[in-house]
Amino acid sequence: MPVRVGIPRALLYYYYYPMWKEFLQQLGAEVVVSDRTTKGILTKGVQHCVDEACLPVKLAFGHVGNLANKNVDYIFLPRMVSVAQGEYICPKFLGFPDMIKQNIKGLPPVIDSVINLRNKPQDINNFTKEVGSHFNKGKLKAWLAYRRAMAVHKQYTQLLEQGLMPDEALSVLEGRTKPVDDRETDLTVAVIGHPYNIYDPFISMNIINKLRKAGARVLTADNLTEQVVNQGAKRLPKKLFWTLSKRMTGGALNYHDQRSVDGIIHVAAFACGPDSMTGELIERFIRREGKVPFMNVNLDEHTGEAGIVTRLEAFLDMVRWRRTAV
Ligand code: SF4
What number of residues does the chain have? 326
Could you tell me the distance, in angstroms and rounded to a whole number, from the CA of residue 54 to the centre of ligand 1?
6
- Quick check: 183 pLDDT over 80? no
How much is the average pLDDT of 16-24?
98
Is 54 close to ligand 1, i.e. is its CB under 6 Å away?
Answer: yes
How sure is the predictor about 184, in pLDDT bands with cuts at 50, 70 and 90? confident
C-alpha angle 229-234-239 in degrees, rounded to nearest 5 = 100
| C-alpha to C-alpha distance for 291 and 283, rounded to whole angstroms | 12
Helices vs. strands in the chain: H and E counts, helices first: 13, 10
| C-alpha to C-alpha distance for 90 and 244, rounded to whole angstroms | 8
Single-letter amino acid, residue 63:
H
Cβ contacts of 25 within 8 Å, gap of 6 or more: 31
Nearest to 218 by CA among 265, 283, 156, 280: 265
- Quick check: 278 pLDDT over 90? no
User: What is the sign of the dihedral through the CA atoms of 216, 221, 226 and 232?
Assistant: positive
Could you tell me the distance, in angstroms and rounded to a whole number, from the CA of residue 241 to the centre of ligand 1?
14
> What proportion of the chain, given as a percentage, has pLDDT over 70?
97
Q: Tell me which CATH code domain 4-161 carries.
A: 3.40.50
How much is the average pLDDT of 172-194?
84
Q: What's the CATH architecture for 183-325?
A: 3-Layer(aba) Sandwich (3.40)
Q: Which atom of ligand 1 is nearest to the CA of 275?
A: 2
What distance lies between CA 126 and its chain's CA centroid? Answer: 24
Domain with CATH 3.40.50.11900 in the chain: 183-325
Cβ contacts of 240 within 8 Å, gap of 6 or more: 233, 246, 249, 278
